[in-house]
């Protein structure tokens, strides 16, 4: 139910945007986020709930790489 | 790019190795509860239970909104439909068995019942009532539609109040995997009152495994509090626009949860200025006459939702109760613990 899918904003008109989900395009309400064309948003039940920033994605990957890194005596 | 990183086998192996290593330092067995149906699905789909050390147990909590909707609310909305009111809701709700029938059966008998992808889609049906279920992830969408004139039967629920109730039930839970997309709305700061180890997790296998490791670290060190693993989506403050519209349209109220009973302040009711759009007020004469709801005989959905039993411990599981013929709510939704266990086994 709380499933959410990322997609890329193709165009925006007022509160509605066309969002591209890997080829499938759908009208999505963007009234809950500040999002511009070309940005990625996380979409739940027809609404964008978060603009995904490259910086946040980078921070997340750094955390995961740090957690997955084995220190020498772990081997 | 990020997709490839999130499936990097070397990182996954490293995290699994570390989980096994830290588990040896735990003084007693640990129960971790995931409070989101989408996490339950990730855990089963990737067989995460099967690779965890024996002293680390995952328990599914009340994280499926379809499942936790009370039997009385289901009966009430079915009665509205049978009395000629157009009822609109999300697809899964049509198949949840009420005391006498489902919304789907009511529709087969002539009631006007529609399902939609988004609350906004309900606005095209004149004089319809939207059966508004879901957690904080979904409630803002209802709020936007209410502001555009939608009439609703309010049944939204909020997670932090339910977690406090679970902690007080003494279920021997050592830590919570907190729901990623609820947290995207309410922000990580919303869990600060809960005195237990918690990690907000994303939905890839690597996210869930990392979050389990982070929880075990906290538990080993005797620490309480919150870490955020889902940094790419969840911020401290959450989605302020969504919080504002929730606050504008709804006020907190007590709510009835399947399995957990009535939890103080865990529901959302329309504020007075929207009372003309509240189906519970508009149709009070019909709803007052609906008999007290009864759970299906033998069904243990309530216990499953609190983590008191696994789905396969229910006498109906995979016998009379299957995804095609669900007896209880947890077998209906793709995120229900019973349907997940039916599809993937006890993984």
Beta strand A47-52 with B30-34 is unpaired
Instruction: Report whether pLDDT(B116) > 60.
Output: yes
Which of A64, A70, A75 to substitute to test the interface with B, most B CBs within 10 Å? A64
Backbone angles phi, psi at A71, to 5 degrees: -85, 150
Dump pLDDT digits (tens) for B142-166. Answer: 999 999 999 999 999 999 999 998 8
Of residues B154, B89, B43, B123, the one with CA closest to residue B332:
B89
Dump pLDDT digits (tens) for B200-241. Answer: 999 999 999 999 999 999 999 999 999 999 999 999 999 999
pLDDT at B232: 94
Using CB atoms, which residue from B14, B120, B181 is nearest to A68?
Answer: B14
Which of A1, A56, A57, A70 to substitute to test the interface with B, most B CBs within 10 Å? A1
Using CB atoms, which residue from A1, A49, A57 is nearest to B232?
Answer: A57
Q: Which residues in chain B are closer than 8 Å to A2, comparing Cβ atoms?
A: 36-38, 65, 134-135, 137-138, 179-182
Using CB atoms, which residue from A1, A50, A67 is nearest to B333?
Answer: A1
For the sheet containing B129-132, what is the strand order? Answer: B113-116, B87-90, B129-132, B151-154
Whole-angstrom distance between the N-terminal and C-terminal Cα of chain B?
29
| Domains of chain B and any CATH numbers | 2-65+159-228 (3.40.50.11750), 68-158+238-287 (3.40.50.11740)
Tell me the nearest-neighbour CA distance from B72 into chain A, angstroms. 21
Query: For B247-254, what is the mean pLDDT?
Result: 98
Rounded CA gap, A54 and A72, in Å?
Answer: 31
Tell me the pLDDT of chain B averaged across its residues.
95
Tell me the nearest-neighbour CA distance from B23 into chain A, angstroms. 14
Question: Greater confidence, B88 or B10?
Answer: B88
pLDDT at B1: 52
CB contact under 8 A, B241 and A32: yes
Tell me the nearest-neighbour CA distance from B325 into chain A, angstroms. 20
| Domains of chain A and any CATH numbers | 5-74 (2.30.30.140)
Dump pLDDT digits (tens) for B27-77. Answer: 999 999 999 999 999 999 999 999 999 999 999 999 999 999 999 999 999
Instruction: Report whether pLDDT(A70) > 80.
Output: no
Cα dihedral angle (B105, B111, B112, B115), rounded to 10 degrees?
A: -10
B141 contacts chain A (CB < 8 A) = yes
Q: Which residues in chain A are closer than 8 Å to B178, comparing Cβ atoms?
A: none
Please name the residues between 252 and 311 in chain B that touch chain A, using a CB distance below 8 Å. none
CB contact under 8 A, B335 and A32: no
CB contact under 8 A, B210 and A64: yes
Instruction: Report whether pLDDT(A36) > 60.
Output: yes
Q: Which whole-number Å values give the CA distances from B318 to B221, B313, B325, B338, in the listed order? A: 41, 11, 9, 9
Tell me the nearest-neighbour CA distance from B237 into chain A, angstroms. 12
pTM of the model: 0.94
Q: Within 13 Å and on the Cβ side, how many CA atoms surround B191? A: 32
């Amino acid at each position: 139910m709380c499933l959410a899918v990322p997609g890329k904003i193709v165009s925006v008109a007022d509160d509605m945007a066309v969002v591209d989900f890997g080829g499938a395009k759908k009208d999505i309400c963007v009234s809950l986020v500040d999002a511009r064309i070309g940005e990625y948003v996380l979409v739940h039940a027809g609404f964008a709930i978060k603009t995904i920033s490259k910086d946040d994605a980078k921070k997340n990957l750094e955390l995961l790489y740090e957690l997955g890194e084995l220190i020498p005596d772990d081997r | 790019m990020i997709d490839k990183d999130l499936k990097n086998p070397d990182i996954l192996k490293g995290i699994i190795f570390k989980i096994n290593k830290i588990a040896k330092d735990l003084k007693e067995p640990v129960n971790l509860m995931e409070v989101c149906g989408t996490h339950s699905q990730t855990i089963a789909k990737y067989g995460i239970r099967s690779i965890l050390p024996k002293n680390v147990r995952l328990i599914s909590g009340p994280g499926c909104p379809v499942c936790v909707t009370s039997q009385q609310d289901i009966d009430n909305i079915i009665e509205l439909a049978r009395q000629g009111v157009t009822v609109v809701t999300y697809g899964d709700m049509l198949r949840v068995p009420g005391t006498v029938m489902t919304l789907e059966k009511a529709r087969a008998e002539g009631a006007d019942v529609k399902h939609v992808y988004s609350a906004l889609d309900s606005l095209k049906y004149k004089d319809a009532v939207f059966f508004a279920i879901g957690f904080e992830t979904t409630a803002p969408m209802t709020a936007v539609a209410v502001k555009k004139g939608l009439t609703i039967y309010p049944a939204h629920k909020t997670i932090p109040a339910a977690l406090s109730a679970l902690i007080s039930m003494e279920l021997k839970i050592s830590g919570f995997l907190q729901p990623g997309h609820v947290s995207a709305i309410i922000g990580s700061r919303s869990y600060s009152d809960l005195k237990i180890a918690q990690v907000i997790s994303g939905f890839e296998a690597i996210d869930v495994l990392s979050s389990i490791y982070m929880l075990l670290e906290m538990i080993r060190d005797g620490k309480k509090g919150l870490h955020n693993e889902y940094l790419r989506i969840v911020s401290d403050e959450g989605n302020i626009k969504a919080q504002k519209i929730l606050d504008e349209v709804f006020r907190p109220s007590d709510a009835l949860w399947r399995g957990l009973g009535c939890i103080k302040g865990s529901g959302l009711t329309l504020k007075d200025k929207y009372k003309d759009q509240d189906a519970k007020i508009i149709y009070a004469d019909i709803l007052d006459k609906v008999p007290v709801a009864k759970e299906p005989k033998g069904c243990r959905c309530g216990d499953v939702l609190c983590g008191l039993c696994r789905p396969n411990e229910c006498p109906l599981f995979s016998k009379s109760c299957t995804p095609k013929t669900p007896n209880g709510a947890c077998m209906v939704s793709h995120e229900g613990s019973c349907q997940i266990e039916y599809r993937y086994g006890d993984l």
